A and B are shown apart, each in its own frame.
Chain A
Amino acid sequence: MSTLEIRGLKVSVDTENGPVEILKGVDLTIKSGETHAIMGPNGSGKSTLAYSIAGHPKYQITGGTVTLDGVDLLDMTVDERARAGLFLAMQYPVEVPGVSVSNFLRTAATALRGEAPKLRTWVGEVKSAMAALSMDPSFAERNVNEGFSGGEKKRHEIMQLELLKPKIAILDETDSGLDVDALRIVSEGVVRAKADNDLGVLLITHYTRILRYIKPDFVHVFADGRIVEEGGPELAEKLEANGYAEYVSK
């Protein structure tokens, strides 16, 4: 049983005109097995929340705490946070030229498990993770994210989620750029990871369509750098009908 606890989180980014506050005090608690959807208009700070928790150097933490099972994450380097059990599925996964998917996955698994996975079982593990997401086996020999279509990038992110078995996963607009079939395949991967590993999920999205596949336990509306309303799945339906207008105009 794990708990990610965010308390009073304030985050700024440096701009030409000095630091600008993006997150203005975020409180959120995510436990194993729970799915929290964060929904909000563009520019409300949803992605900033995701990248700040993962430790991207662009974001300055100016206040608040983030802990995983009571341990301070903000004090850790990016790789330490991942080894503590955090995973970020990125909206725009980065190309790493010359590094094959198979080499990358094995290096990551070695880092996270503390020892190199046994080659024999590992090959099978990767194969079945790829098959589960309807990915061609030749995928493993391609360079990380290089020349991948939008859908391939997202499948690759979720394949890592299944292989690397984190405690808490943040999915940053994993649904963007996916057609209906890819959305279903990717969502099923998330649901499997939840069932297999009792994963806690923070699902960041703009649209409600992914919530048909990944049922949220809690929905949080995000606007202007903070959570402005919280509720159950019914809140997503309300957003579907009314949009974000009432929150933006506040």
Chain B
Amino acid sequence: MSTLTTNYLTPTGREEAWRFTPLKRLGGLHDGTFKLATRNTLALASAAAAGVTFERIGRELVSAESKTDDVIVGRIHEAATEVTVLKIAANAELAEPISLHRLAGGLTDAELSRVQLHIGANAKATVIIENSGDHLLAEDIEIICEPGSNLTLVSLQEWDSKTIHAGRQHAIVDRDATFKSIIVTVGGDVVRLLPTVEFRGQGASVELLGVYFATAGQFFEHRMFVDHLVPNAKSRVNYKGALAGQDAHTVWIGDVFIRAAAEGTDTYELNRNLLLSDGARADSVPNLEIETGEIVGAGHASTTGRFDDEQLFYLMSRGIAVEDARRLVVRGFFNEIVSEIGNSDIQDRLMTRIDRELEKAGAQ
């Protein structure tokens, strides 16, 4: 038992935010019945660069930049005694991405990791977080984008099959800043991520992109919340998922809130799911709440479908065998987002993984 004294109510599964999540498979992250680990497995893997600092800092020196009503994020903020802080100085323009890797962890005790990623005014950078191995992990990443900054954050969940991973990636985006998030989830037993955005200044622009591929028994949930608090901000959400195998289950929730003050908002969100076999389930729920009519645009779309027989027929009529045709279609489906990562080694690796997931699915 952990000794946390959280005031958060333990979810029962009846709450809107938890109604899809298999609580029993969360390793106790939601109700505190886990053993707290002392490790910190997020490590800097790229060479030192001017204007970049990576440190672990005592919690008393790092105040939280955001609020949360998520019980797991709350527990992280209570439990983590130090904060991993990545800072990119104002005006720095980084030619090479900053690379963070996940070191070896474990499943018998839970790592509660608190991270702050801070990009200074008018700086430009790409940060890539590569997660692999088997972990029991709750992680909160606060991303502070100062005015005029431009950050691309790539988060890869290439977990092994037993990983339980819950967490939040909360971006606070100030005036004229640009933030692009690409979340890839292709491994793990249960992954539940909250990509959330809080606009703090006008003229800011955010893109939340994601891909996921769940096979038999896997549960992947991506639950966004984009809070348009200020005028003239732009948000785009585009998540694409594939599912194959018995009890593969994915959840995509797209909550977008346009507050009364947020005149001139421009937002669009999209989720597409490809069901590759029977027995899999994709939940897809876009929610748009609008308190002002003075906006540029607000829309959403959600589709869940099977292989398009006409696409397969077209490819096969050119001599391409059915397995190769399926692979082409699935790669093509994901390519729109994977190609945004901008790193050909990672893109090739992900496409190979996607091929493998598809082969596994075909073998069932």
Contact = CB atoms under 8 A, between A and B. Distances in A.
Interface string B307-330: 011110111111111101100110
Contacts of A99: 328-329, 331-332, 335
Given A98-B336, A99-B329, A107-B324, A88 B317 contact: yes
A107 B315 CA distance: 9
B336 A94 contact: no
Given A79-B321, A98-B333, A107-B328, A93 B316 contact: no
B337 to A, nearest CB: 9
Given A98-B332, A99-B328, A111 B318 contact: yes
Contacts of A247: none
Given A98-B334, A99-B331, A82 B322 contact: no
A111 B328 contact: no
A87 B309 CA distance: 18
A54 B328 contact: no
A192 interface: no
Interface in B326-358: 328-329, 331-336
A111 B321 contact: yes
Contacts of B317: 54-55, 78-79, 81-82, 87-88, 90
Interface residues of B, number: 24
Most chain B CB within 10 A, of A79, A97, A99, A103, is at A79
B318 A108 contact: yes
A60 to B, nearest CB: 15
Nearest to A89: B317
A7 interface: no
B319 A79 contact: yes
A112 B318 CA distance: 8
Contacts of B333: 97-98
B329 A96 contact: yes
Residue among A57, A88, A111 with the highest chain B CB neighbour number at 10 A: A111
Contacts of B311: 94-96
Contacts of B319: 79, 82-83, 108, 111-112, 164
Contacts of A144: 314
A154 to B, nearest CB: 14
A96 B332 contact: yes
B148 to A, nearest CB: 33
B153 to A, nearest CB: 23
Interface in A38-52: none
Contacts of A93: 314
Contacts of B313: 56-57, 78, 94
Contacts of A78: 313, 316-317
A35 interface: no
A56 B311 CA distance: 11
Contacts of B335: 98-99
Contacts of A143: 332
Contacts of B315: 96, 104, 107-108
A160 interface: yes
B320 A107 contact: yes
A4 to B, nearest CB: 15
Interface string B32-49: 000000000000000000
A77 interface: yes
Interface in A73-128: 77-79, 81-83, 87-88, 90, 93-99, 103-104, 107-108, 111-112
Interface in A149-185: 160, 164
Most chain B CB inside 10 Å of its own CB: which residue of A87, A93, A94: A94
The residue in B308, B316, B331 that gathers the most chain A C-beta atoms within 10 A of its C-beta is B316
- Which of the listed residues A81, A96, A103, A108 has the most CB atoms from chain B within 10 Å of its own CB? A96
A54 B317 CA distance: 7
A94 B315 CA distance: 9
Contacts of A77: 316, 322
Interface of A: 54-57, 77-79, 81-83, 87-88, 90, 93-99, 103-104, 107-108, 111-112, 143-144, 160, 164
Given A108-B320, A160-B318, 9 more contacts: A79-B320, A82-B320, A87-B317, A90-B314, A94-B311, A98-B331, A107-B315, A108-B315, A111-B320
22 contacts: A54-B317, A55-B316, A55-B317, A57-B309, A79-B317, A79-B318, A79-B319, A82-B317, A83-B319, A87-B317, A88-B317, A93-B314, A94-B311, A94-B313, A95-B311, A96-B311, A96-B315, A97-B333, A98-B331, A108-B319, A164-B318, A164-B319
